């Protein structure tokens, strides 16, 4: 059944259906999730993956509905006039890819479907993600995120710290409200894992000798863990059996690693206008991303090039010549190709994990997300 | 029955009993809670309140046991080698007054008594308090706390932020484990309240026009709220009726305001060797404490004096002459006397709230804490 529909028929929703749904929503922010889907679809079409595009189109009906419900709920989060409230709102209003809530909603649809509890869990996972961004931006002295000034640069570090605390509390409150006590316990464990992964990353900042093992510990702890929880939460709320929920969690774990590897690539080869993030941001913060680790493993000259970038004072641009050296290094050591290959391998593992869950439109949609995420450019 | 026992008999535990209990514990830190009791007792004796001292002595048997159990459990919190783990351990090892767990334990003893659930809740409330200190120290650029370098000055701001996040998660995990779902919901609400009180304080930093109303909002939100929760948690875990638990919560609320008012006084008139905190720390951070608000309300010259202190560059000491001007100002405007009077009034309200809970050693002990807290010097 996979990859069946190639051309839209009058009965099947036309591609424009997407846009129609978007404009019918009240808030401009509401389009964030659909934009991701649209972009995924564009990527599929660009690459001649019309089967994939067909499937995306196929799934768009209920996904659009779920994401619209998510955006409506998210827009209703309490707006508080204090500086801390404004710092939180500032980040939330910038929008985001909504990838974690999207996956959570899809996981619930593998089971009994989307309801108020799932909505609470979807909002919670996006809030946890947002809370970590608010704290990370303070830790990283980040000035821009998603193409806008960071909350900390507008409202100060203190407000950004407290705003992160607040969103975390709001997230936990919603998970509590959604019932399923094991999900609350699981989320507390996941947040602890994230904190220690951030710590490990912090300790290895600027260490050119950081190895793959440490890299995967960080990526699993800070990125994959949240995807794992999101998929598990969707499965549990959808009433799936334990084995099926575990399979979904494994999908989330593998998707998270895929996501992180592609994120690493975008830091070095992405288009800042699309990603909303300056090129080499991670690198200049001393974060040893996967392509860099590959390059450093493979060529002794790499150390000098990477060190030169790290030595550039904070607010000065990277000289064009040096930027070109980095790109050349990554290409000739196959660091880009191999990072992409690794991402694709984990994406395949994610899709394989789905073999243990009931087939249907939701499962196919998850598989599509896992495939398309490799080629994303934002 | 209140204030009955005046001199210890051979049957009642002798004052030295306290010290005997302390030294039998493995960790030197374990004495923190008892030290508070000892100091409270000393204060009572100094002031000729031998009745009060007698009552403290009276209650020391089970309080010492509960606090020893608390310290043993607290010492077993996971020690993690990462920088974040060390930052957390750094703060926890410095010890503290353990006033919140003490009150929580006493509240439980008004009911069915101290057990594993109460222990988890007592550890949780101290962890929440510790988490806020770790974040506050970053926000306040604080270099010293409890007479030692702050975690942020040893391990950095980032580690201090993540360590605070971690302790919060560990606290929530313990509250979850203790059963009583309403306590978890209540704690999430309290933490939110604390965050917005911190925000309000932040916005009013250095504003000499901050009024009493705002002061009480901040004090209730950031300090009294945690005491309120601690007392409520003890009551709920001790199986008390709703009305009794509410009375205990009111006791906590009033005790918290008392505590904050005395804290404010100690910032201006305390002995740094005893408090472990430099004199004028709050003032120099621009925090409008209660005695300052009184002075600013009552004398127009006050603005110039306070502004002069705020203008001193961060790492320079306050000139002796200026310090004397501040003290003189506080004395001649009755700011010190009136702050103390206000603290005593709230302490009395706390004690009155106890009328609605069953009488016994635990209730008497709580009343004693409320009386003695006014005259504390640490």
Residues 94-153 of B with CB under 8 A from A: 135, 138-139
* Contact residues, chain A, for B157 at CB < 8 Å: 138-139, 157
Judged by average pLDDT, the poorest of A63-77, A166-180, B57-71 is B57-71
* Contact residues, chain B, for A195 at CB < 8 Å: 84, 162, 165-166, 169
> Rounded to whole angstroms, how far apart are CA atoms B378 and B226?
19
* Contact residues, chain B, for A84 at CB < 8 Å: 195-196, 198-199, 202
H or E segment at A104? Answer: helix A99-110
B103 has pLDDT over 70: yes
Nearest to B230 by CA among B339, B320, B97: B97
* Contact residues, chain A, for B161 at CB < 8 Å: 135, 138-139, 161
Is the CB of A182 inside 8 Å of chain B's CB atoms?
Answer: no
Q: Which two tokens stand for residue B250?
A: 């009111």
Select, from the ranges B13-22, B207-216, B274-283, the one with the highest average predicted confidence (pLDDT). Answer: B207-216
pLDDT of residue B148: 87
B7 has pLDDT over 60: no
Residue B377 pLDDT grade (very low, low, confident, very high; cuts 50, 70, 90): confident
% pLDDT > 70, chain B: 84
Q: Burial letters for B159-191: b for 16+ Cβ neighbours within 10 Å, e otherwise?
A: bbbbbbbbbbbbbbbbbbebeeeebbebbbebb
- Judge whether B295 and B302 are in contact, CB under 8 Å: yes
**Best mutation site among B162, B188, B196 for testing chain A: the one with the most A CBs within 10 Å?**
B162
* Three-point CA angle B179, B357, B197, nearest 5°: 65
Beta-strand runs (E) in chain B: 144-145, 148-149
- Summarised one tens digit per residue, pLDDT across range B135-150 is 998 988 888 887 789 9
User: Helix/strand/coil (H, E, C) string of A210-253?
Assistant: CCHHHHHHHHHHHHHHHHHHHHHHHHHHCCCCHHHHHHHHHHHH
Q: Which residues fall within 8 angstroms of residue A283, CB to CB, at 6 or more apart? A: A267, A268, A289, A292, A306, A309, A310, A326
Residue A4: how many other CB atoms lie within 10 Å: 10
Q: What are phi and psi of A114, to 5 degrees?
A: -90, 130
> Rounded to whole angstroms, how far apart are CA atoms B291 and B337?
9
Q: Which two tokens stand for residue B263?
A: 């804290």
Name the β-bridge partners of B145.
B148
> Rounded to whole angstroms, how far apart are CA atoms B98 and B68?
11
pLDDT of residue B11: 31
Instruction: Decide: helix, strand or coil at residue B145.
Output: strand
DSSP A276: S
> Rounded to whole angstroms, how far apart are CA atoms A175 and A181?
8
Give the closest-approach CA distance of B246 to chain A in angstroms: 22
- Judge whether B197 and B221 are in contact, CB under 8 Å: yes
Q: What distances in angstroms separate CA B144 from CA B137, B138, B269, one per listed residue?
A: 9, 11, 18
Instruction: Decide: helix, strand or coil at residue B149.
Output: strand
pLDDT of residue B183: 97
Nearest C-alpha in A relative to B87: A199
- CA neighbours within 13 Å on the CB side: how many for B80? 20
Nearest C-alpha in A relative to B162: A195
- Summarised one tens digit per residue, pLDDT across range A279-337 is 899 999 999 999 999 999 999 999 999 999 999 998 899 999 999 999 999 999 999 99
Q: What are phi and psi of B283, to 5 degrees?
A: -55, -50
> Rounded to whole angstroms, how far apart are CA atoms B165 and B128?
10
Q: What percent of the residues of chain A are helix, what percent strand, and what percent coil, each to the nearest 5?
A: 75, 0, 25
With CB atoms and an 8 Å threshold, state whether A135 touches B185.
no
pLDDT of residue A38: 65
Which of A83, A172, A199 has its CB closest to that of B83?
A199
Residues 196-255 of A with CB under 8 A from B: 196, 198-200, 202-203
Q: Which residues fall within 8 angstroms of residue B260, CB to CB, at 6 or more apart? A: B219, B223, B224, B290
Averaged pLDDT for residues B24-49: 51
If one compares A289 and B375, the residue with the highest pLDDT of the two is A289
pLDDT of residue B12: 31
- Summarised one tens digit per residue, pLDDT across range A251-277 is 999 999 999 999 999 999 988 887 777
> Rounded to whole angstroms, how far apart are CA atoms A108 and A36?
19
Q: How far is CA A295 from the centre of its chain?
A: 25
B8 has pLDDT over 50: no
pLDDT of residue B60: 63
B126 has pLDDT over 70: yes
Nearest C-alpha in A relative to B189: A169
- Summarised one tens digit per residue, pLDDT across range A224-258 is 999 999 999 999 999 999 999 999 999 999 999 99
Q: What are phi and psi of B144, to 5 degrees?
A: -130, 145
Q: What distances in angstroms separate CA A178 from CA A71, A120, A128, A181, A309, one per listed residue?
A: 18, 6, 15, 8, 47
* Contact residues, chain B, for A172 at CB < 8 Å: 172, 188
Size of interface A-B (CB pairs under 8 A): 105
Name the β-bridge partners of A145.
A148
> Rounded to whole angstroms, how far apart are CA atoms B145 and B275?
9
Residue B34 pLDDT grade (very low, low, confident, very high; cuts 50, 70, 90): low
> Rounded to whole angstroms, how far apart are CA atoms A114 and B305?
62
Is the CB of B185 inside 8 Å of chain A's CB atoms?
Answer: yes
Residue B6 pLDDT grade (very low, low, confident, very high; cuts 50, 70, 90): very low
B293 has pLDDT over 60: yes
Q: What distances in angstroms separate CA B68 from CA A97, B17, B18, B32, B105, one per listed residue?
A: 50, 13, 11, 10, 11
Is the CB of B270 inside 8 Å of chain A's CB atoms?
Answer: no
- Judge whether A342 and A236 are in contact, CB under 8 Å: no
> Rounded to whole angstroms, how far apart are CA atoms B342 and B258?
8
- Judge whether B105 and B114 are in contact, CB under 8 Å: yes
């Amino acid at each position: 059944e996979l990859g069946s529909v190639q051309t839209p028929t009058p009965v099947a929703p036309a591609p424009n259906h997407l846009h129609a749904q978007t404009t019918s929503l009240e808030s401009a922010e509401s389009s964030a999730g659909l934009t991701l889907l649209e972009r995924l679809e564009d990527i599929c079409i660009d690459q001649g993956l019309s089967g994939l595009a067909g499937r995306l189109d196929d799934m768009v009906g209920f996904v659009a509905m779920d994401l619209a419900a998510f955006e409506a709920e998210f827009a209703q989060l309490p707006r508080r006039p204090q500086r801390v409230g404004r710092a939180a709102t500032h980040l939330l209003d910038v929008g985001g890819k909504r990838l974690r809530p999207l996956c959570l909603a899809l996981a619930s649809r593998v089971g009994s479907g989307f309801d108020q509890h799932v909505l609470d869990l979807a909002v919670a996972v996006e809030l946890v993600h947002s809370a970590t961004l608010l704290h990370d931006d303070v830790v990283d002295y980040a000035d821009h995120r998603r193409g806008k000034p960071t909350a900390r640069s507008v409202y100060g570090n203190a407000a950004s710290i407290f705003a992160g605390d607040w969103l975390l509390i709001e997230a936990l409150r919603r998970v509590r409200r959604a019932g399923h006590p094991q999900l609350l316990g699981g989320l507390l464990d996941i947040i602890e894992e994230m904190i220690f992964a951030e710590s490990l990353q912090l300790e290895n900042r600027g260490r050119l000798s950081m190895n793959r093992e440490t890299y995967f510990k960080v990526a699993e702890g800070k990125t994959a863990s949240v995807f794992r929880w999101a998929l598990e939460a969707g499965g549990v709320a959808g009433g799936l059996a334990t084995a099926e929920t575990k399979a979904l969690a494994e999908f989330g774990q593998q998707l998270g690693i895929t996501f992180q590897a592609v994120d690493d690539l975008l830091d070095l080869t992405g288009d800042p206008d699309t990603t909303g993030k300056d090129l080499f941001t991670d690198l200049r913060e001393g974060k040893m991303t996967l392509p860099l680790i590959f390059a450093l493993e493979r060529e002794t000259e790499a150390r000098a090039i990477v060190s030169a970038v790290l030595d550039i004072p904070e607010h000065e641009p990277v000289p064009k010549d040096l930027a070109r050296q980095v790109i050349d290094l990554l290409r000739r050591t196959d660091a880009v190709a191999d990072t992409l290959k690794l991402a694709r391998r984990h994406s395949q593992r994610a899709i394989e994990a789905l073999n243990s869950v009931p087939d249907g439109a939701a499962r196919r949609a998850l598989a599509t997300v896992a495939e398309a995420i490799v080629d994303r450019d934002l």
